[in-house]
């Protein structure tokens, strides 16, 4: 008998810059989709389809390492009011030092969400910057960086069915997600073998 799927809903923690949108101080070769605190903001292709789908099927929050005022403006432009579980910005990040370069880096510690009742096993971070998830790499689905120029980018369309397939799995941390575009999700059979 197969174990029952985990009933707790899957939480998606979405990054903003270079994941869902690209923001620039100067306009690109086309007009921006909207402006946010002085930035020209370009939506990633298929963003509305992606947002509509994830809001209908998952719990969704946003966590960006950008400042609060900018984050609030972008979130207000992208998401319907009260549709997100939370919208966090840089002040929720942990700062750590890279001892190789001496640089200080913002990290997103998903452990902080446990205090709000979320389980790491049922959480996925969607981000273009892996080092920000060094403490929770098992929860990361890394997407290609979006720089506002590729109008044929289809990353979000590929991500939708992948997230749907993952949603029934009990432990996101146990699933290999590197090269997710190329992999087929393997589920584990009753005897422990891939099926």
Q: What share of the chain is helix, strand, coil (3-state, %, to 5)?
A: 30, 20, 50
| The pTM of the whole model exceeds 0.95 | no
Condensed to tens digits (0 to 9), the pLDDT of residues 90-114 reads 999 888 887 788 888 889 999 999 9
Residue 195 forms part of a structural domain: no
CA angle 105, 51, 170 (to 5 degrees): 75
Residue 189 forms part of a structural domain: no
Structural tokens at position 77: 């432009």
Query: Which residue range forms the structural domain that includes residue 128?
Result: 11-174
Domain CATH number, residue 109: 3.40.50.1000
Residue 190 forms part of a structural domain: no
Residue 76 forms part of a structural domain: yes
Residue 114 forms part of a structural domain: yes
Residue 15 forms part of a structural domain: yes
The residue-averaged pLDDT of 120-133 equals: 94
- Percent of the chain whose predicted confidence (pLDDT) is above 70: 90
Residue 79 forms part of a structural domain: yes
Quick check: 187 and 153 in contact, CB under 8 A? no
Name the H helices within the chain.
47-57, 68-78, 111-114, 155-166
Residue 49 forms part of a structural domain: yes
Nearest residue to 163 (alpha-carbon basis) of 87, 31, 57: 57
* β-strands 34-36, 11-14 pairing: unpaired
Condensed to tens digits (0 to 9), the pLDDT of residues 63-93 reads 999 999 999 999 999 999 999 999 999 999 8
């Amino acid at each position: 008998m197969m174990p029952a799927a985990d009933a707790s809903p899957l939480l998606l923690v979405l990054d903003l810059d270079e994941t869902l949108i690209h923001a620039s101080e100067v306009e690109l070769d086309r007009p921006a989709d909207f402006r946010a605190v002085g930035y020209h903001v370009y939506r990633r292709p298929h963003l509305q389809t992606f947002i509509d789908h994830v809001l209908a099927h998952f719990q969704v929050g946003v966590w960006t390492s950008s400042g609060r005022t900018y984050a609030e403006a972008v979130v207000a432009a992208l998401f319907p009011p009260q549709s997100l579980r939370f919208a966090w910005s840089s002040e929720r990040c942990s700062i750590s030092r890279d001892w190789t370069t001496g640089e200080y880096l913002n990290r997103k510690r998903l452990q902080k969400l446990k205090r709000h009742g979320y389980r790491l096993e049922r959480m996925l971070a969607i981000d273009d910057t892996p080092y920000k998830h060094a403490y929770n790499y098992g929860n990361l689905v890394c997407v290609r960086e979006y720089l506002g120029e590729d109008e044929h980018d289809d990353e979000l369309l590929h991500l939708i069915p992948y997230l749907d397939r993952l949603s029934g799995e009990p432990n996101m941390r146990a699933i290999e997600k590197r090269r997710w575009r190329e992999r087929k999700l393997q589920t584990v059979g009753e005897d422990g073998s891939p099926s």
